[in-house]
Amino acid sequence: MYTPYPENMMESIKKVEATREKRMSTEPRRLTADEKDALLKEFHPDYNPEAFAEIKVGANKGQKAPLELTKMLHSTSRIANEKIDITKIDYDVDVLVIGGGGAGSSCAIEAHNAGANVMIVTKLRIGDANTMMAEGGIQAADKENDSPVQHYLDCFGGGHFAARPELVKRLVMEAPDAIKWLNELGVMFDKDTDGRMVTTHGGGTSRKRMHACKDYSGAEIMRTLRDEVLNRQIPVVEFTSAVEIIKDEKGQAAGAILLNMETGDYSVARAKTVVIATGGAGRMHYQGFPTSNHYGATADGLVLGYRAGVPLLYQDSIQYHPTGVAHPVQIRGALVTEKVRSVGAQLVNAEGEAYIHPLETRDVNASGVIRECREGRGVEAPGGQKGVWLDTPMIELLGGEGTIEKREFLLCSVCI
Ligand X SMILES: Cc1cc2nc3c(=O)[nH]c(=O)nc-3n(C[C@H](O)[C@H](O)[C@H](O)COP(=O)(O)OP(=O)(O)OC[C@H]3O[C@@H](n4cnc5c(N)ncnc54)[C@H](O)[C@@H]3O)c2cc1C
Using CB under 6 A as the binding criterion, the count of chain residues that bind ligand X stands at 34
What's the rounded Cα separation, in Å, for the pair 291 and 285? 7
Residue 321 or residue 386: which is nearer to ligand X going by CB? 321
**297 binds ligand X, rule: CB under 6 A:** yes
Among 101, 328, 352, 358, binds ligand X (CB under 6 A): 101
Residue 292 or residue 367: which is nearer to ligand X going by CB? 292
List, in sequence order, the alpha helices (H) in 208-253.
Answer: 217-231
What minimum distance in Å lies between the beta carbon of 274 and ligand X?
A: 11
Among 45, 66, 102, 387, binds ligand X (CB under 6 A): 102
Q: Measured at CB, which residue is nearest to ligand X?
A: 101
Task: Give the three-class secondary structure for 59.
Answer: coil
Among 66, 100, 344, 352, binds ligand X (CB under 6 A): 100
What's the rounded Cα separation, in Å, for the pair 157 and 5? 40
Site for ligand X in 11-70 (CB under 6 A): none
Among 9, 95, 121, 348, binds ligand X (CB under 6 A): 121
Q: ∠ CA 169-113-108 to the nearest 5 degrees?
A: 70
Those residues whose C-beta lies under 8 Å from the C-beta of residue 251, and which sit 6 or more positions away, are: 309
What minimum distance in Å lies between the beta carbon of 409 and ligand X?
A: 12
**134 binds ligand X, rule: CB under 6 A:** yes
**118 binds ligand X, rule: CB under 6 A:** no
Of 335, 289, 379, give the one whose Cα is nearest residue 48.
Answer: 289
What minimum distance in Å lies between the beta carbon of 14 and ligand X?
A: 31
Q: Are strands 240-247 and 52-54 parallel, antiparallel or unpaired?
A: unpaired
What's the rounded Cα separation, in Å, for the pair 171 and 142? 13
Of 186, 225, 220, give the one whose Cα is nearest residue 102.
Answer: 225
Of 103, 145, 134, give the one whose Cα is nearest residue 120.
Answer: 103
Does residue 351 contact residue 377 with C-beta atoms inside 8 Å?
Answer: yes
Strand partners of residue 240? 260
Residue 107 or residue 373: which is nearer to ligand X going by CB? 107
**407 binds ligand X, rule: CB under 6 A:** no
Residue 3 or residue 206: which is nearer to ligand X going by CB? 206
**133 binds ligand X, rule: CB under 6 A:** yes
What minimum distance in Å lies between the beta carbon of 130 and ligand X?
A: 3
What mask, x for binding ligand X by CB under 6 A, covers residues 264 to 293?
-------------xxx------------xx
What's the rounded Cα separation, in Å, for the pair 229 and 206? 36
Residue 332 amino acid letter? R
What's the rounded Cα separation, in Å, for the pair 224 and 59? 37
Does residue 45 contact residue 320 with C-beta atoms inside 8 Å?
Answer: yes
Among 242, 269, 356, 415, binds ligand X (CB under 6 A): 242
Site for ligand X in 194-233 (CB under 6 A): 217-218
Among 203, 204, 296, 378, binds ligand X (CB under 6 A): 296
Chain residues binding ligand X by CB under 6 A are 98-104, 121-124, 128-131, 133-138, 217-218, 241-242, 277-279, 292-293, 296-297, 300, 335
